[in-house]
Every structure is written in structure tokens, then in C-alpha cells.
Copies of this chain bind each other. A is one copy, B any other.
């Protein structure tokens, strides 16, 4: 630290924005904050970056510690660092966001942790600028999903076509023509049909599919083009 010893240093935090999907609607994972200030108020999962870890590692560690969620694909979102964003001192926060299947983790969350899913448009007041963090991440999610097939990260291992289209409808808040959407989806060769049906949501049952990971890996989907008449503005991306 010889050279930089006169430079100011800062508290550096991370906050994790976890979106979830249960087959019907989008949710956001929140937790009752476990430390002061603002203890017991709803917030994102956050904590401080330690000297021996990168911010990415800090985000994974903190998410795991607070929710039990492991191996979650998280991406850097924006940095929030206005000098007065926390009243109690200067903290710069790097936000991360992820997309998961909310059903899959339901039991972990409810048994051991205080984290809870809320509908994406109906959650309690949050501390600091966490609402803004969520909105920024939502925008990023939309534009990323316009170029990359990351939305599949939100689906369980096996999923049905109706589930995918509800997911897109939820993320972009639009109505999709299932005929066109399914056709496009199938023609991408990203999906492998299983000989097995999901009977939970209908009497007829919907076939399960799994991702063809080889193709998925670096394929870009431009589903945005195939949604019914709208412009990207409408979707807020």
C-alpha cells in the first residue's frame, strides 16, 4: 500500500437481486435485514466485500449465506455510489442479478432462511435505494434477454412450452401469440422434446422439453422479433 496510502478508501458492498419465476409470474427475493442499521426491514441480500475476495465472490458468498442459494448464475448490474445513498456513511454498492426457478428453491428458503418471494410489482418498502436497484436490473434483464437466451436460466431443468411463453409474457409484460412463438422456439433447435407430460396445469398435459445445451451455449435468440406488434420502447428496454 506504499503508493496509495494517502488515497481515501470506501466501504464496498454488494447487493443481490434475485428474480424468480414459478411458471406463472415473476417474483423478487427479499430478506429481512439481519444487521444494523435498518435491521429487520426488507431489503436485497447484501453485505460487504472482504479484502481477500473479488466482488463477484462476495456476491456468491453473501447470497449463499443469506438464502442458501448456491451455484446461481449472477451478473454484474450497475454500481450505486452517490455519496449520500446511505445515511449512515458512505457505502458504494455493486449490484448483481440472477434468474432462477423460484419453485425449485422454495423449500430451502422457507425452512432455514428469512428470505421470501414477492410479486415483482408488489413488494414492501425497501431500504436505501434498493427499489432503484431492482428497476435497473429489470431493465438490464430485458435488454439482455433481447440478445441472449438467458431467460432459460429461469426455467427448471424440464419445462413446457406454455411455461416459456408465460415467462416471456411476464418479463416483457406483453401478450404472446403462442402459435408463432412456439413455432419459432422449436425451429431454433434449442429444445429437445421429452416423452413426458406435465399434468399439473392442465388436464391434457403439456410435453416437457429440455435445453439442448450445445446449441444454447453461444446462440443468440432474437425472440423480440417474433413477439406481436410492439416496439422495443413499449418494452422499456
Q: Which residues of chain B come closer than 8 Å to A231, judged between CB atoms? A: 220
Tell me whether A52 and B83 are in contact (CB under 8 A): yes
- A75-111 CB contact bits vs B (8 Å, 1 = yes)? 0101101110000111110100000000000000000
Question: Counting chain B CB atoms within 10 Å of each CB, which of A51, A52, A147 scores highest?
Answer: A147
One of B4, B11, B88 near A89 (C-beta < 8 A): B4
Tell me whether A11 and B9 are in contact (CB under 8 A): yes
Tell me whether B48 and A3 are in contact (CB under 8 A): no
Measured in the bound complex, the distance between the Cα atoms of B231 and A98 in whole Å is: 26
Tell me whether B92 and A49 are in contact (CB under 8 A): yes
Q: Does A194 interact with chain B (Cβ within 8 Å)?
A: no
Measured in the bound complex, the distance between the Cα atoms of B89 and A200 in whole Å is: 56
Q: Which residues of chain B come closer than 8 Å to A233, judged between CB atoms? A: 218-220
Known: A10-B10, A12-B12. A1 touches B52 (CB 8 A): no
Measured in the bound complex, the distance between the Cα atoms of B13 and A155 in whole Å is: 37
One of B2, B55, B83 near A79 (C-beta < 8 A): B55
Shortest C-beta distance, A49 to chain B (Å), equals 6
- A206-237 CB contact bits vs B (8 Å, 1 = yes)? 00000000000011101000000001110001
Q: Which residues of chain B come closer than 8 Å to A71, judged between CB atoms? A: none
Question: Counting chain B CB atoms within 10 Å of each CB, which of A10, A53, A82, A237 scores highest?
Answer: A10
- A30-43 CB contact bits vs B (8 Å, 1 = yes)? 00000111000000
Q: Does A50 interact with chain B (Cβ within 8 Å)?
A: yes
7 contacts between A and B (CB under 8 A): A10-B51, A12-B81, A49-B81, A76-B78, A76-B79, A143-B147, A147-B232
